[in-house]
Amino acid sequence: MLSGGSFAEQMAIPVHAVARKPASLTWEQAAGLPLAGGTALRTLDALEVEAGQTLLVHAAAGGVGGFAVQIARARGARVIGTASERNHAYLRELGAEPVAYGEGLADRVRELAPDGVDAVADFVGGQLEVTLSVLKSGGRHASVTDGEVEAHGGRLIWVRPDGAETARLAALADEGHLTVEVGATYGLDEVAEAFKVSQGGHSRGKLIVVP
């Protein structure tokens, strides 16, 4: 069921997808951790983000982007994150330097990083031109939505829940480096509304369905 997705009070899942709940998170927060957090973690691993580097995160206030910001900051990286103005204070709380997306984005990024950025993580798509224009020579970039990145030396990231990765995320949470922003919770009879909000593309944090 993990490959296609499902909503149910109970379901069978493979043991390799299971990890212990982080003690520091609520059950609702923990439910938002595996897939979105795993996507962020695998993306940053692929980009080899480490201390002293500068990472640009497209859609940094989203469900995946917020994890990426926190994981990168825990590694000692500098993070520049794109988001709407209303989410800039939130990104600052996570340790990122926010920039508004839209026309002129590349110029705004270069104002913060005149020599370019070391890596770019794209969690929204349609940002390839900006990515390539602000990336240092030899820099790395990856996207979870835009397959065109592969033709330009980037990585396309595809993730399914993985217990080992979730355990790494849980450790970060319990060490105080990672929290989960829950945007809203919905009952099983409100799944359609949850999808409607999600597809609007402007929700912050994770939308959680609870039995």
How does DSSP assign 91-155, residue by residue?
HHHHT-EEEE-STTHHHHHHHH-TT-EEEEEESSSS-HHHHHHHEEEEEEEEESS-GGGGGGT-E
How much is the pLDDT for 3?
A: 55
Kindly state which CATH superfamily the domain 25-163 is placed in. Medium-chain alcohol dehydrogenases, catalytic domain (3.90.180.10)
How much is the pLDDT for 206?
A: 82
Give the global pTM.
0.90
How much is the pLDDT for 200?
A: 77
How much is the pLDDT for 119?
A: 98
> Low-confidence residues of the chain, pLDDT below 70?
1-5, 201-203
pLDDT in tens, 152-198: 999 999 988 889 999 999 999 999 999 998 888 899 889 899 888 88
